[in-house]
Amino acid sequence: MEEIILKGVAAAPGIIFGYAFILDKQDFVIAPRTIMENEVPSEIARFLEAVIHAKDEIVDLKNKIDAQKRANETQIFDAHLMILEDRSLINDVEKRIRAEKLSAEYIFMEVIRDYLSKFANIDDEYLRERASDINDIGRRVLKNLVDEDRLHALDNVEEKLIIIGHDLSPSDTASMYNKNIIGFATDIGGKTSHTAIMAKSLGVPAVVGLKDATLRIRNQDYLIVDGERGMVVVNPKEETLSQYKSQQTKIQETRDRIQEIKDLPCETTDGKKIGLYANLELPEEMPAIISSGADGIGLYRTEFFYMNRMDLPSEDEQFEVYKNVVEQMKGGMVTIRTLDIGGDKFLSTLQIPIDMSPSLGWRGIQFCLRQPDIFKTQLRAILRASAFGNLRLMYPMISGVQELRQANALLEEAKLNLKEEGVAFDENMPVGVMIEIPAAALMADMLARETDFFSIGTNDLIQYTFAIDRVNEQTAQLYEPANPAILRLIRVTIEAAHKEGIKVSLCGEMSGELALAFILLGLEVDDLSMSSVSILQIKNMIRNVTYKKAKEVAHEAVSLATSEEVETITLNRLKTMAPDLFNAQH
């Protein structure tokens, strides 16, 4: 087979090799499962039994309808029986089970998809409509082959797979916390979409924005996912495979080498210390965060706790999860961001109208202030967890002082209610503001007087500054974290905070990139928060540079005209100071 190279956007670092599994939005999702030669007869027998069972179910339904004298409806079931008795369909499945040595349910699903594809392209309207009958039959047989709750679940994947999809919602990726999902790639998405963020949290290589990956990759194609350069190689040649395996080995050697600095202080060669924190999406990430040597959690994105469920999490449920995270950090600071839905994050439990422009729609603190019951439930849970460790809270998407005051008023109500109930919490729990809207950056001096700390969310700050959708691969080239406009907004925010004596953390994806983190150091940010996979690399950089030089470079960067100029100058300065950092780059 011919080697194909697809180019997209690098979303999560690393290189991985494996077989493709196309995750589409059809009614059923079955992952491939290999069977042994001696299992083939029993697998075919299992398939035939499922077909017989499906026939019996349809006959029972047909008899009930006949009894009610609804003759027109029985014709539907006659059509279903004809499909199940189609010898070519049965033979296709049996033949492919023997040839491919894969489970009956997976082969049957593939055959049904082929049939659906053929029917969709038929000109005759009557025959095209038979596709729905085939789909119904497919579901009925699959339900007899596997448990109903496994028709969608990816957490039951038994083989190591690379997921390929048109798009993966945050809830999709949140359900992928499974050691057998080793990487993924999507047609759409940008570098800071939540698909990319979740890939980093899962610790798997990922490429997004490939445009037509789902059309050019087939199930079980052998792939290389290059999360370093943003490429996917389909059916690689031996030479390509050999080159990538060599690169993968070098990357792992570099990761192993910098493990030595995990417990060393994060400070420059001239003594400037900076906090390095981890971003947390799912509690399952905690072992990886602890092993990274992070000082704590700089951003806990709690919205993922609300996804993949049919109800809202209760106060007690939230409290237990937050408390567990706080206790695992053993004194390390944990910063919980209150619920931030909107953009590419939504909650299926709430009947919220779909926004035409979700990034500009009802999201973040705006949503919480309009849903005070949901908001106060979370505030109470966070307050209760604050009694068990070093915890602080911050509000997302604050645009000005008025919203901050409204949010704090609800927080005070929650505190008062807990006091009346005799429930313990930290009376002095710090409360901060996320600076991720240009209006908030421009009002940073006012906001700094009424809050305990700032956390700059550059993913959204860049999006709103340049009027682009950061999830959209079409505008990926316009997403410029090194643009002097962004650096100036960050500088204004830090200066305003320091003038009022409060600290500033930065928790956007730019924290985890060497050159950008070097500039942020020079802009005098106090803490950086990032995916745990980036922490040691950034610590290694900080321990090899001077704070004095970082400030000089940052001062020069904000005076430049373009992001290209900023990146060129910064990389050149950094390579001169610490060439070993780039010798390890691939």
Tell me the CATH number at 211: 3.50.30.10
Instruction: Check whether 35 has a pLDDT greater than 70.
Output: yes
Are 22 and 54 members of one domain?
A: no
Are 240 and 326 members of one domain?
A: no
Are 98 and 223 members of one domain?
A: no
Segment among 61-65, 119-123, 210-214, 266-270 with least mean pLDDT = 119-123
Mean pLDDT of the chain: 87
Distance, CA of 475 to CA of 464 (rounded, Å): 13
Are 361 and 477 members of one domain?
A: yes
Residue 456 lies in a domain: yes
Structure confidence at residue 356 as a pLDDT band (50, 70, 90): very low
Residue 59 lies in a domain: yes
Residue 266 lies in a domain: no
Structure confidence at residue 355 as a pLDDT band (50, 70, 90): very low
Residue 500 lies in a domain: yes
Provide the phi-psi class of 66: left if phi over 0, else alpha when psi is between -120 and 50, else beta. Answer: alpha
H or E stretch covering 81: helix 71-84
pLDDT attached to residue 349: 44
Cβ distance 343 to 471 under 8 Å? Answer: yes
Distance, CA of 245 to CA of 252 (rounded, Å): 11
pLDDT attached to residue 177: 66
Are 21 and 43 members of one domain?
A: no
Instruction: Check whether 191 has a pLDDT greater than 70.
Output: yes
The residue out of 94, 119, 150 marking a domain boundary is 150
Are 79 and 9 members of one domain?
A: no
Are 231 and 368 members of one domain?
A: no
Cβ distance 285 to 532 under 8 Å? Answer: yes
Segment among 74-78, 93-97, 480-484, 525-529 with least mean pLDDT = 74-78
pLDDT attached to residue 365: 93
CATH code of 337's domain: 3.20.20.60
Are 211 and 353 members of one domain?
A: no
Residue 228's domain comprises: 4-26+160-249
Query: Tokens for 169?
Result: 């919602």
Instruction: Check whether 215 has a pLDDT greater than 70.
Output: yes
Angle between helical axes of 514-522 and 547-557 (0-180°, round to 10): 100
Are 323 and 414 members of one domain?
A: yes
Model confidence pLDDT, tens digit, residues 534-562: 999 999 999 999 999 999 999 999 999 99
Residue 270 lies in a domain: no
Indicate the pTM of the whole model: 0.73
pLDDT attached to residue 506: 97
* DSSP 8-state symbol, 135: H
Cβ distance 489 to 558 under 8 Å? Answer: no
Side-chain half-sphere of 567: how many Cα atoms within 13 Å? 9
Report the number of distinct structural domains present in the chain: 3
Number of H-type helices and E-type strands within the chain: 23, 16
Instruction: Check whether 259 has a pLDDT greater than 70.
Output: yes
Spatial strand order of the sheet with 161-165 comes to 4-7, 231-234, 222-226, 15-23, 161-165, 181-186, 206-208, 9-12
Structure confidence at residue 157 as a pLDDT band (50, 70, 90): low
Cβ distance 456 to 435 under 8 Å? Answer: yes
Angle between helical axes of 458-466 and 484-499 (0-180°, round to 10): 130
The residue out of 98, 126, 150 marking a domain boundary is 150
Are 85 and 203 members of one domain?
A: no
Instruction: Check whether 585 has a pLDDT greater than 70.
Output: no
Instruction: Check whether 443 has a pLDDT greater than 90.
Output: yes
Angle between helical axes of 401-421 and 372-385 (0-180°, round to 10): 60
The residue out of 150, 183, 206 marking a domain boundary is 150
Are 179 and 145 members of one domain?
A: no
Instruction: Check whether 49 has a pLDDT greater than 80.
Output: yes
Residue 311 lies in a domain: yes
Mean pLDDT for the stretch of residues 169-177: 63
Q: What is the CA radius of gyration of the chain?
A: 27
Are 118 and 174 members of one domain?
A: no
Catalytic residues: 194, 507
Residue 558 lies in a domain: no
Distance, CA of 100 to CA of 463 (rounded, Å): 47
Segment among 14-18, 88-92, 272-276 with least mean pLDDT = 88-92
